Structure 1
Amino acid sequence: MVLVGVDLGLPHFDAELDELAQLATTAGYRVLDRITCKRRAPDPALFIGSGKADEIQALAHGHGAVEILFDQALSPAQQRNLERHMGMPVNDRILLILEIFAQRARSHEGKLQVELARLQYLSTRLVRRWSHLERQSGGIGMRGGPGETQIELDRRMIGDAIKRTKERLEKVKRQRATQRRQRERRDAFTVSLVGYTNAGKSSLFNALVKARSYAADQLFATLDTTTRQMYLGEVGRSVSLSDTVGFIRDLPHTLVDAFAATLQEARDADLLLHVVDAANPGHPEQIQEVQRVLREIGADDVPQILVFNKLDAVAPEHQPLHVTDIMELDGVAVPRVFLSARSGLNLDALRRLLAQRLQPLPAPPDDDPSH
């Protein structure tokens, strides 16, 4: 597989294509080479122009690659034109993320969410994948009406599948809402872990609740929401802790929509633990991407604690002066703690911050002189 990145002047352009390479490896592909180029704007037909398409084709043939993968989202027409021009499959970042999600989903809800996102993506690609079926197939004994094309039938079938999947997901959402209401009746304090993928959310979740949730040094190791009770001895009560799917740059809107039920846990939480990979030099951009998705799902007003994880992997010259401090995030002063979920370093500091959030507020002074 050959990776292609197009610099359109956007601030988050990954010149080394490291994240795309990690995504490809996570999905089980072998990366043979990488190539980047600059453009003021995408070419409407080929995204990159015919000259660069020829160069990429020659590079792929030279390595024996059988597929091209773009870091940017391609329109259905651009994807179709590139495949015709290069004579091999051409895919984009969105399809790759969908593929990883399909491999990783374990729960019934997760599988439904992935299926919905896949169907929504597929519905826009029918022209590309089934262009050979555009012949008329209507008539006596055929499934469609007279003159209905095969592609129209496929669109209708996918539309029906999307509708059925949405109905099944709605049922799951209602079940989750019932569970949340039960937690609220029990006066449960809910905490959700959010953060960029591979920031160490599942490792932190396991360290806090001694669970055995799957954790690995790879993108999207966890897709399904897991909820456990965590006892805080400092205040003598438990909180409900949920681990959610990781965010990523340019997360497809179909996935944000499809994972609304899972991300609902973040939106309805009393507190978010925003986990950050402190050892990643790109963590400021990753923080902003997480904030963007939180705004998109309506969770941007939920209070946060910033958890700068992987402190054991931070170079000595970049070690923080204090274990906890305050960081401004979107104009709001947010508590921050530096720790290592893997080694357990400074986990007690996080637990103290959580306990402070659960401390009952002191009663206001009584100014009535008659009392």
Structure 2
Amino acid sequence: MDAQTPGEARLQRMAEPEGAVAAETRTLVIGPYQTRRAASGRPGESRAAEARLDEAVGLAAAIELDVVDRLGVSLSDIRPSTYLGKGRVEEIAGRIAADEIRLVVMDCALSPVQQRNLEKAWGVKVIDRTGLILEIFGRRASTREGTLQVEHAHLAYQRSRLVRSWTHLERQRGGFGFLGGPGETQIEADRRMIQERMTRIERELETVTRTRGLHRRSRRRVPYPIVALVGYTNAGKSTLFNRLTAAEVKAEDMLFATLDPTARAIRLPHGETAILSDTVGFISELPTMLIAAFRATLEDVIEADILLHVRDISHEDTEAQGQDVAEVLGELGIEAEAGRVIEVWNKADLLDGAERERLLNLSRASGTGRNAAGPVLISALTGEGIDRLLARIEARIAETRASFAVVLDPAEGAGLHWLYENAEVLDRREDASGAQHLVVRVAPEKEPRFLNRFGAARRLRAAGD
């Protein structure tokens, strides 16, 4: 790996998390949402404005900003220069001065010009939704790959926003943590260093991505089916991952608590081993540059045999969140209705009795039969419904596998051991002579070895039947 240059060291210092600063930064969160008629066809239009604003406040809380106020603004159209209308900008300026606000979070995508003009009008730092999400990702990423991907996206975003507009700030230092701002004399040098650093990151990412690809191919050679958790951020994926694997992945009631992928082995009801992968949560209007940056990470999702789409069924916006996840999966070339997606309704423990019973009945009614495709109601926190979920995963895997009847002589202990190690033993009984009668299910890649060893086995069901 290349040695770090002095310029890159400075960039790294500029990018360090600013937790102490954030905790002392009085912040106003503004939700400038177009009316549904004006926003027809735009992302997020199906969401309630109050729920969207709640989410924006949650994003700000994820980096410990001191949110002292929130403001929803209804827009009939977007102004090219300031996003908001002139009257609103002036009204908010008075509010900022009265409340001694130091940072404004705009829950939208601002152009560099809009951001600069709002900062001039209000005399404080302004960040948009993309900048806020990038800041969170910068705090959360811990693996080498995740850190590089976030930094690259971070630098690409910041490069277009190095402008001479932040002279009102007391702290005239560089700040790829978005709470600061580059000093005037450093702007051109910073822009050059950013491009140089991005080029070096791209080279490092090529190496890291190749290594990750080798790990993925080695897992394929094992081979075990791969089950990937996907879902909206804070839907409970990491809690479910911990429940299924007895792992201790960070699981908090916080947006984007998990960024770096984690994989563990799990045991299914009939003894089959599968690899369970926890992934970064999705969110509405996820910045395109972040989808691109994390594409290598999300390859675990693309290549998974089964996707568990985890939904917070207790959330008022659960339907819209589900649509957002389906859209991101679509960008990755995965159709949400594909046969390998199992919808998991999580957080049943937060439902009242009547709603919980209604959803449980709905889940049971649509989840029967060999090709059941309905949702599974669970609580990852309490363990409710986990057995049903494991059975559904196993049934979905079984659709791609053939089953056989095998008879073993009493002395064939090695053959019995082989079956338990390499196949799923669905049934086993012993007759009066001591012979073992088994029903086993075999993965396609192991079927040739199985038939070579147990040539007298009788096929009961072909894969896909």
Which structure 1 segments of 5+ residues have no match?
133-148, 367-371
2:389 to 350, 353, 359: 350
Counterpart in the other structure of 1:369: none
Whether 1:243 and 2:282 are equivalent positions in the alignment is: no
Say yes or no: does 1:185 pair with 2:211.
no
Alignment check: 8 A CA contact 1:226 1:243 kept: yes
Q: Distance in 2 between matches of 1:31 and 1:194?
A: 29
Q: Which residue of 2 aligns with 1:28?
A: 64
Report the TM-score, using the length of structure 2 for normalisation: 0.70
How far does residue 224 in structure 1 lie from its aligned partner after superposition?
Answer: 0.6
CA–CA distance in structure 1, aligned partners of residues 84 and 191 of structure 2: 29
Quickly say closer, same or farther: Cα 1:155–1:130, change in 2 above 3 A: farther
Q: Which of the residues 340, 351, 357 maps onto 1:314?
A: 351
Pair 1:200-2:236 in alignment: yes
**Which residue in the other structure is 1:276 paired with?**
311
Q: How far apart in 2 are the matches of 1:263 and 1:126? A: 30
- CA deviation digits over 1:281-337, x for unaligned, max 9? 10000000001111112233571110100001012221224354549xxxx984310
SS at match of 1:335: coil
Distance apart, 1:85 and its partner CA: 1.0
Question: C-alpha separation between the residues in 2 aligned to 1:71 and 1:102?
Answer: 18
**Native 8 Å contact 1:270 1:302 kept in 2:** no
Question: 5+ unaligned residues in a row in structure 2: which ranges?
Answer: 1-26, 40-44, 169-184, 404-458
Distance 2:167 2:123 in 1: 15
Shift of 1:21: 0.7
Structure 1 length-normalised TM: 0.87
Which residue among 94, 108, 123 is the counterpart of 2:159?
Answer: 123
2:293 maps to 1:258: yes
Q: Following superposition, which runs of at least 4 residues in structure 1 exceed 4 angstroms of deviation?
A: 128-132, 149-153, 362-366
Q: Determine the C-alpha separation between the residues in 2 that align with 1:218 and 1:275.
A: 16
Instruction: Indicate the residue corresponding to 1:303 in structure 2.
Output: 340
Q: Is the 8 A contact 2:229 2:307 kept in 1?
A: yes
Alpha carbons of 1:242 and 1:201: their partners in 2 closer, same or farther (altered >3 Å)? same
Match of 2:321 in 1: 286
Give, in angstroms, the shift of residue 238 of structure 1.
Answer: 0.5
Q: What one-letter code is carried by the residue in structure 2 that aligns with 1:57?
A: A
Q: Does residue 335 of the first structure (1) align with residue 335 of the second (2)?
A: no
Quote the Cα distance in structure 2 between the aligned partners of 1:129 and 1:206.
47
- Determine if contact 1:130/1:151 at 8 Å carries over to the other structure: no
Matches within 5 A, 1:148-159: 153-159=189-195
Q: Secondary structure at the match of 2:344?
A: strand
1:189, CA displacement in angstroms? 0.4
Mapped pair 1:97 → 2:133? yes
Q: Output the CA distance in 2 between the equivalents of 1:158 and 1:325.
A: 56
Structure of larger gyration radius: 2
Q: 1:114 pairs with 141, 150, 161, which one?
A: 150
1:76 corresponds to which of 100, 112, 129: 112
| C-alpha contact (below 8 Å) 1:68/1:89 kept by paired residues | yes
Letter in 2 for 1:273: L
Shift of residue 175 of structure 1?
A: 1.2
* Separation of aligned partners in 2, 1:195 and 1:172: 25
- Offset, 1:57: 1.1
1:35: Cα distance to partner? 1.7
Task: Quote the offset at 1:204 in angstroms.
Answer: 0.2
Kindly indicate whether residue 28 of structure 2 is the aligned counterpart of residue 2 of structure 1: yes
2:84 maps to which of 18, 43, 48: 48
Quick one: distance in 2 between partners of 1:128 and 1:288?
Answer: 40
Deviations 1:334-363 (A, max 9, x none): 431000000001100001001112222456
Aligned mate of 1:171, from 207, 227, 237: 207
> Is the 8 Å Cα contact of residues 324 and 349 (structure 1) preserved in structure 2?
no
Secondary structure class of the residue paired with 2:97: helix
Match of 1:31, SS state, is strand
RMSD between superposed Cα atoms in Å: 2.3
| Aligned-residue offset at 1:15 | 2.2
Equivalent residue of 2:105, what SS? Answer: strand
Equivalent-residue separation in structure 2 for 1:128 and 1:282 (angstroms): 40
Whole-Å Cα distance in 2 between the matches of residues 128 and 325 of structure 1?
62
The answer to which of 209-218 and 25-34 deviates more is: 25-34
Of stretches 167-176 and 199-208 in structure 1, the one that deviates more from structure 2 is 167-176
Whole-angstrom distance in 2 between the partners of 1:315 and 1:2: 34
In structure 1, the partner of 2:256 is 220
Stretch of structure 1 that moved more, 271-280 or 149-158: 149-158
> Which digits, 9 at most, give the CA deviation of each residue in 1:238-271, with x for residues without a partner?
0011000001111111111111121111011111
Equivalence for 1:143: none
